[in-house]
Amino acid sequence: MGVSRFGIRAALGRVVERARGASGGAGADVVFIDEDGVERRVRGAAGDRLLDLAKAGGVDLSHYCGGQASCGTCRVEVLDGAGLDPIGAREQLVLGDAAARRGARLACQARARGPARVRVPSDYGR
């Protein structure tokens, strides 16, 4: 009794889909909330920077230094950051301790690994 290549591929595909379903997949849903309370959900791949997700979703998020973590203009307020990587040393330095404790992150440094909700502040001329 032989198994065709198609049968093996189909079975493997089902295993991969079940695994993705159980783990939430390799995607990262991030909800960006603007100053008017309008929410925009953007789905990206795990590991995408918040700045890249914002651009892809049409979210206006300033970043004067081009995403190099030197100006702080891409600062967002994390409302639910369970799906974000921990803050790094460079990001901590730019934000300062007080802002980091309040939940501020730099969108150019924060990477999404799962669901997150962030508020885009209206400072910096937005």
- The pLDDT tens digits along the chain (126 residues) read 454 444 454 444 443 333 333 344 568 999 999 999 999 999 999 999 999 999 999 998 888 998 899 899 999 999 998 999 999 999 999 999 999 999 999 999 999 999 999 999 886 444
CA distances from 56 to 32, 40, 70, 80, 94 (A): 12, 11, 22, 20, 25
Give residue 2's pLDDT: 54
CB 35 within 8 A of CB 121: yes
The domain over range 26-119 is classified in CATH as 3.10.20.30 = yes
Query: 49: part of which helix (H) or strand (E)?
Result: none
Give residue 4's pLDDT: 46
Using DSSP's 3-state secondary structure scheme, residue 89 falls into helix
Give residue 26's pLDDT: 67
Q: What is the gyration radius of the CA atoms in the chain, in angstroms? A: 18
CB 14 within 8 A of CB 22: no
Alpha carbons 15 and 101: distance in angstroms, whole number: 41
Give residue 27's pLDDT: 86
Give residue 66's pLDDT: 87
Closest to 85 in 3D by CA, of 58, 114, 119? 114
pTM, two decimal places: 0.75
Domain boundaries, the chain: 26-119
Q: Would you state the structure tokens that stand for residue 17, as one six-digit string?
A: 């889909």
CA distances from 72 to 5, 6, 50, 91 (A): 53, 52, 14, 9
